[in-house]
Every structure is written in structure tokens, then in C-alpha cells.
Amino acid sequence: MKDVELTHLSKSYDMQTEVLSDISVSIHAGEFFVLVGPSGCGKSTMLRMIAGLEDITEGTLTIGQKKVNDLHPSKRDISMVFQNYALYPHLSVEENIVFGLSVKKVPKTQRKKRCHRVAKMLGLTDYLNRKPRQLSGGQRQRVALARAIVNESPICLMDEPLSNLDAKLRAQMRSEIKQIQRQLNITMIYVTHDQVEAMTMGDRIMILNEGKIQQVGPPIDVYNAPANEFVAKFIGSPPMNLAKATIYPDNQTLSVVGRIHLQLPPEDIQRMGTKEVTIGIRPEHLQLATSESQQPGSSKFEVKVSHVEVLGNETLLNFEFAEGNWQAKWNGQWRVNVGDIVPLSLHYSAICLFDTTTGNMIKQPTQNEQHLIQGVSI
Amino acid sequence: MNGLLKKIALYLVLTITAFVVFFPILYAFLISFMTGGELLQGNLFSKSFHLENYQKAFERLPLAHYLMNSFIISLSVMIGQLVVSSMAAYAFVFIPFKGRDAIFFLFISTMMIPWEATMIPNFITIQQLDWINTYQGLTIPFFAMAFGTFLLRQHFKTIPKELDEAAQVAGISRFKFFVKIVVPYCKNSLITLGAYSFLTTWNMYLWPLLVTNNDSVRTVQIGLKQLRTQELATDWGVVMAGVVVVIIPTLVLLFIGQKYLQKGLAQGALK
Ligand SMILES: Nc1ncnc2c1ncn2[C@@H]1O[C@H](COP(=O)(O)OP(=O)(O)O)[C@@H](O)[C@H]1O
Ligand SMILES: [Mg+2]
């Protein structure tokens, strides 16, 4: 088992602008590591540098304690799945799967056995004699997957493998890939622009923007405590609501465009040391104001609903707030009409605060509902 | 109704054009069956078929020998060109090296130099190598052609680069990738180039004339010329019989090639 370690890694194609700058991260053996970020932020470049398909401009890359900056891709003990699958069009499914094994000096009978085992695992047994163009998109995806896992490399790299599939198939493949990774105990480095894939699949995720690391950590930690405004907006659907706010140390309050007023603990004011902040609140923490919700530390404000989406098990309310569009997410089905005035309440413990000038988080929410099943017996 | 009329008109025009274009060959074919007297009368069709012209053509010349020479030379040039051009094109597409594009443009700029202009230096080289009257002298100067490299490079460039990268990650050697992936992928261009180089070599006249001075490796095109000037009054029937024999391989290749091309296009449309 081998760790993959990136130390101050940088990449520049034209020697002028850096596509990736100063990337340092350690990917543990057996881990499902997701690289997520908007398109063009350098995810593929980073993956291709790990694979050895792209030169490393600066920094070191080690796989299992060994520096591999200049090692040929085939010597790095990796397999790779490409976005467009990169299947050989005139080879059959079986030939595609075993093509790489012939070089690895795997005996012919062994090759056949391994191919059939992998095909069975991915439900491809009936298609082994077909050509890639006779397969559906989902089946081609599986062949690409089979080809990657058949050579039993300890590290597998995937570059947006699900982006060409429809939504339903994508959800199915998400859990299948995750299961295979766990079953074979592979180190997975997975690139996606889709935060849902990142949240659902990753043991740890790394958010990248404009070539720089924004945050690395387990998905839930990233969701609960985003390191900066970018991560707050990027992770979570619908995204976190953000607005400019001002702290008044004299009467220990925080005010958002004069409509929300929150009482602040004095130690927080001291610690943050700035007056201009950005407040962030997840849509699920904006609940209907009731008489019980009027506790110390909470604030009530009224909004005019501009759009309603009832999704069966939850209801999304859209409204204009502080020059932006905010959303509230309520459980269950609610009968709310466009134009209705709705009272909302939020609690200080649920909000994030960011330094407006740097964008970095200065206060994380302390109220996170974590549910545990303990000692349940039926 | 309108559509049918249009179709009829279209086919009429096509038939007439095809006839006009094909007429010289057709006429040569008819002449090859006429006796000298009939030809002079200016008849389009002879009253009876005579095969003597063919017999005479083969008697007066070692035509079979010439045909064999032409075949060997054309086949060698075809294979040589396919191997050299495809490997050069592979390097220009898949192997990054310094100054690759500059070298490629320099290479294809040789397409602008007419072959005749390089004939003298080429001839001197062949003479120095003592390759006069040899198959090498007739074939090797044509192995590295810019046109073939250019044609194949254009097709190789349509291969997704991920195929090459997947092969690299799997540790497949460049040569195996070339043989197992690139060649089958670009089968149609290779067939097109093969047919083209075979036909150009088959129809070559000036170079074989220069580098041969006896019958040993002489090609059939020169044979045809000999047929014309052997006697004072050219026996056109015999010449045309020779012409017909010579163009048969061309026609066969064209028909086969066309079939392949159609198949290739149909395959491409399925993707
Ligand atoms: N071969 C290349 N040459 C020059 N620039 C490139 C090359 N590949 C990618 N880039 C640039 O690098 C940046 C990151 O690209 P990429 O890693 O593909 O982003 P992502 O995969 O996150 O969408 C982009 O701005 C892109 O234009
Ligand atoms: Mg990408």
C-alpha cells in the first residue's frame, strides 16, 4: 500500500502563468480522495501530473516514499479512467479489458480468468464480444472501469468518469464505484466538478479554485465549516446564503442590512477583531419563526417570497435579501404562495462568519444536527 | 413527379459525362480488336473480332516480363511508402520533440518542388550507388514522400490523444500501439494511400526510362513506347492491345479500392 504525496507542486504550461500553484497534500493508501472544483481550475492537470502524462514544473511527487517526478506513467503502479473512456474502437470488450495485461506478463489463462471475474463484477459478461460502438454509454463506462481495475494497480485515477451519463445512471455508478473501491481496497483519486459526487463518494475531498487549494477534509467537515466564502458557495445544494454584515462592538450586535440583529458573545467580538464581515447561513437553518423560536441569540425577520419549489419531501423558498437571492429549505410540503410575507428566524449558533477582505472563515457554526443510531433493537 | 424528372435529368447528364470521359479507353479497346485495314477506314466497330493484335503484342515484346517488373516495382513502392509514411506520420503526431512542427513544415514544403527538378541529382545518386538497372534504383527514391506523410498525419491527428495516454499508462510500447491501434484505426487512409502510390508508380515513365538501359527491370510503360516506334508505320491495333493489357490492373485496383472506400465510409457513419 502506497501513499501519494504532493509537496509544493506547481504547474505552468507557458512558463508565465501558473495553472496550479503550491499544491501540498498527502493522499493516504486505501483512501477515496476527491478533487473537486469548477471547470478550468486545474483538476485534470493535477491528476495528469500524478499519472505522469504532464511534466511537473516545480515541487515533488512521491508515491510510496519514492520520488517519481520523472518516472514513466507505466512504472507508477496506477490505472486511469478517462472522461471519454478512451476505449480502443476496433477491439472487442474483452480485448479492451485485457490489452494492458499482455505487457504485464500475465499468462494467457490467467488473463482470461481475471477478465471474466471483472466482467462479472460489472455485469459485462454478455457483452465481451461486442465492439465499443455497439454499447450504450453506461456500458462503455463499465468497460473503462473494468480495464482500470483488471490490472490490480493499487492506485486508480479517474477524471470525471460519470459526466457523460444521465442523472439516474450517474447515481447508480456513484455507489458502484465506491463499493468497488472499498472491496478492492484501492487508493482512489477522483476528479469531478460535481459537488454531489464529491460529498457522496469521498473519504476526504479537496476543493480547488484557480489552481489553489481552498480546503481539504472529510465532506461533512467541509460542509459544516467551510474554510472560506468560495467553499461555502461551492459545496452544498442549494448553496449557502451569503450577505454583508456589520458588527457593532458597543452594543455587541451584528446587523445585516438593518433587518437581522443578532446578539454576539463578547469573546467572539474580541477574537474576530474586524467589523466588516460576511454572514453565511445554510438554507436548512432558516426556519419559520414561531413563538418557541424566540430565544436569546436568535433573530426574526420577514421576507417576501419570490419563488416556491415543492419537491415532495421538502420545500424551497426563494426571496430577495440584501441584493442577493436567498433560499430557505423546509422539510415536508408547505403551502406558500409567491408574494406571501413569511417570518423567518435564525440562530447565532447556526451561522458562519467570514472576513470580508480575505474571505476566510472567522466563526463556524456550532449548531449541527448530528444523528446517531445507538443501541437500537427491533 | 418533379423529383423523378430531376432524377432522370441527373442520370442523363451523368451518363453523357461518363461516356465522354470514358470514350478514349472505349475506343482503344475497340481498336485493339481491329485489323489495320479496318482501322484506316475509320470504322467505330469492326465487323469481326480479331485477337491477333494481342498475340502480336506479346510476341514482339517481352510484355509478360515487363508486366511482372511493373508489378514488383509498384508493389515495392506501395509497401515502402506505406511503411515510411505511416511511421513518419506517427512520429509527427504522437512523439513530442523539439522543433517538430518546423521539421514537418520543412518536410511538406518539398511537395512544392516538382519531381522533375530533383531528377538529375537523384539520377547521379543512383548512378554513384551503381543502382542502374536494379529494382532498388527504381523503387527506393520513392519511399519517403511528403504527400503520404501529410495525408496520414491528418488522419492520425483525429485519434483521441486519450487512446495514446491510456496505452502509456498501461505500459504498451509505442510500436505495439502503432501496430494494434493506429493502423487499424486509420485503415481507410492507408488503403487510399496504397492505391494511390501503386497507380502512380505503375504509370511512371520518365524515371524508369532514365535508370534502365536493358530489358532486365524495364517497366511496361516503356514497353508500350517501344511498341510504337519499332516499325516505320505504327500498327495501332497492336499498340492499343498493349494499352488495354496495361490498364487492366489499374481498373481492377480502382474497382476494389472503390468498394473498400464505400465500406469504410459506411462504417464511419455508424459511429
Ligand atoms: N495542454 C495545455 N496547454 C496549455 N494550457 C492548458 C493545457 N491544458 C490545460 N490548460 C489550461 O490549464 C487550466 C486548467 O485546465 P484543466 O486542468 O483541464 O482544468 P479542469 O480539469 O479543472 O477543468 C485551464 O485554464 C486550461 O486552459
Ligand atoms: Mg478536466
**pLDDT recorded at residue B231:** 59
Q: Is the dihedral of CA B107, B113, B119, B121 positive or negative?
A: negative
pLDDT digits (tens, 9 = 90+) for A325-354: 999 999 999 999 999 999 999 999 999 999
CA B6, CA A244: separation in Å to the nearest integer? 72
What is the grid cell recorded at A94? Answer: 474483452
Considering the domain boundaries, does residue B3 fall inside one?
no
A46 CA closest ligand 1 atom index: 17
Q: Model confidence over A14-70: pLDDT tens digits?
A: 989 999 999 999 999 999 999 999 999 999 999 999 999 999 999 999 999 999 999
Q: Domain for residue A122, yes or no?
A: yes
- What average pLDDT score do residues A204-212 get? 96
| B185 domain-assigned | yes
Chain B residues close to A88, C-beta within 8 Å: 163, 180-181
Dump pLDDT digits (tens) for B69-117: 999 999 999 999 999 999 999 999 999 999 999 999 999 999 898 888 8
Residue A241 and residue A146 share a domain: no
Mark whether A84 and A158 lie in a shared domain: yes
Per-residue confidence (pLDDT) for residue B227, from 0 to 100: 79
Q: What secondary structure, in 3-state letters, does chain A show?
A: CCCEEEEEEEECCCCCCCCEEEEEEEECCCCEEEEECCCCCCHHHHHHHHHCCCCCCEEEEEECCEECCCCCHHHCCEEEECCCCCCCCCCCHHHHHHCCCCCCCCCHHHHHHHHHHHHHHCCCHHHCCCCHHHCCHHHHHHHHHHHHHHCCCCEEEEECCCCCCCHHHHHHHHHHHHHHHHHHCCEEEEEECCHHHHHHHCCEEEEEECCEEEEEECHHHHHHCCCEHHHHHHCCCCCCEEEEEEEECCCCEEEECCCEEEECCHHHHHHHCCCEEEEEECHHHCEECCCCCCCCCEEEEEEEEEEEEECCCEEEEEEEECCEEEEEEEECCCCCCCCCEEEEEEEHHHCEEEECCCCEEEECCCCCCCCCCCCCCC
Mean pLDDT of chain A: 92
Residue A236, φ and ψ in degrees, nearest 5: 110, 135
CB-based contact, A100 to chain B, within 8 Å: yes
pLDDT given for residue B115 in this prediction: 83
Residues linked to residue A4 through DSSP beta bridges, in sequence order: A27, A63
The predicted pLDDT at position B192 comes to: 84
CATH code of A218's domain: 3.40.50.300
Same domain, A152 and A174: yes
In a domain, B131, yes or no: yes
Residue B38 pLDDT class (50, 70, 90 cuts): confident
Query: What is the predicted pLDDT for the residue at A204?
Result: 97
Domain membership of residue B159 (yes or no) is yes
pLDDT tens by residue, A172-194: 999 999 999 999 999 999 999 99
Q: What is the pLDDT of residue A298?
A: 87
Domain-embedded: residue B138: yes
Identify whether A378 is part of a domain: no
pLDDT per position as a tens digit, A264-317: 888 888 888 778 899 999 999 999 998 877 778 888 999 999 999 999 999 999
Contacts of A375 (CB under 8 A, 6+ apart): none
- Answer yes or no: do A79 and B270 touch at CB < 8 A: no
Which pLDDT score is estimated for B25? Answer: 87
Burial of A184 (0-12, 13-18, 19+ CB in 10 A): middle
Same domain, A249 and A148: no
Flag whether A115 is in a domain: yes
Is pLDDT of B232 > 60?
no
Residue A372 lies in a domain: no
Same domain, A156 and A268: no
B137-195 pLDDT per residue, tens: 999 999 998 999 999 999 999 999 999 999 999 999 999 999 999 999 998 889 888 98
Task: State the pTM of this model.
Answer: 0.85
Give the count of domains, chain A. 2
Q: pLDDT at residue B269 above 80? A: no
Q: Prior bond to A238 cis, omega within 30?
A: yes
- What CATH number should be reported for the domain holding residue A276? 2.40.50.140
A84 touches chain B (CB under 8 A): yes
* Residue B9 belongs to a domain: no
- Which of A10, A15, A18, A45 has most ligand 1 atoms within 8 Å of CB, for mutation? A45
> Are residue A257 and residue A197 in the same domain, yes or no?
no
Mean pLDDT of A315-321: 94
A74 reaches B (C-beta below 8 A): yes
Any idea what the CATH number is for the domain that residue B206 is in?
1.10.3720.10
Tell me the CA–centroid distance for residue A35 and ligand 1, in Å: 15
Among A35, A36, A44, A54, the mutation site with the greatest number of ligand 1 atoms within 8 A of its Cβ is A44
Residue ending a domain, among A229, A260, A293, is A229
Do A162 and A245 belong to one domain?
no
**Residue where a domain terminates, one of A196, A229, A262:** A229
Final residue in a domain of this structure, among A229, A245, A277: A229
pLDDT digits (tens, 9 = 90+) for B45-66: 777 777 888 888 888 888 889 9
pLDDT at residue A104, rounded to an integer: 80
Count of domains forming chain B: 1
pLDDT tens sequence across A233-255: 999 989 999 999 999 888 888 99
CB of B269 within 8 Å of any CB in chain A? no
Starting at the earlier edge strand, list the strands of the sheet with A66-67. Answer: A20-27, A4-11, A58-63, A66-67
If 0-12 CB within 10 Å is exposed, 13-18 middle and 19+ buried, where does residue B187 land?
middle
| Same domain assignment for residues A197 and A302 | no
Contact between B265 and B189 (Cβ < 8 Å): no
A250 and A174 share one domain: no
Q: Which atom of ligand 1 is nearest to the CA of A54?
A: 1
What is the C-alpha separation between A62 and A44, in angstroms, rounded? 18
Residues A67 and A127 in one domain: yes
The interface predicted TM-score of the complex, written ipTM, equals 0.86
Whether pLDDT at B266 is above 70: no
Q: Is residue A149 part of a domain?
A: yes
| Low-confidence winner among A84-88, A268-272, B244-248 (lowest mean pLDDT) | A268-272
Q: Is A319 a domain residue?
A: yes
What is the span of the domain harbouring residue A165?
A: 4-229
Q: Are residues A330 and A223 in the same domain?
A: no
- pLDDT single digits (tens) A124-135: 999 999 999 999
Residues 6+ apart with CB under 8 A from B150: B108, B111
pLDDT value, residue B210: 92
| Predicted local distance difference test score (pLDDT) of residue B32 | 86
* Region of A148 on the Ramachandran plot (φ > 0 left; ψ -120 to 50 alpha; else beta): alpha
Q: Are A206 and A4 a contacting pair, CB within 8 Å? A: no
pLDDT at A375 over 70: no
Shared domain check, A44 and A185: yes
Residue B17 included in any domain: no
Count other Cβ atoms within 10 Å, centred on residue B105: 9
Regarding the beta carbon of A40 and ligand 1, being less than 6 Å apart is answered yes
Size of interface A-B (CB pairs under 8 A): 59
pLDDT at B271: 36
Stretch (H or E) spanning B28: helix B2-31
Q: Does any domain span residue B22?
A: no
Whether residue A376 lies inside any domain: the answer is no
The whole domain housing B137 covers: 47-270
Mean pLDDT of A79-87: 94
Contact A53, B147 (CB under 8 A): no
A43 lines ligand 1 (CB under 6 A): yes
Least Cα separation, residue A101 to chain B (angstroms): 8
pLDDT at B267 exceeding the cut of 60: no
Position A157 in a domain = yes
Instruction: Look up residue B125 and give its three cell numbers.
Output: 545518386
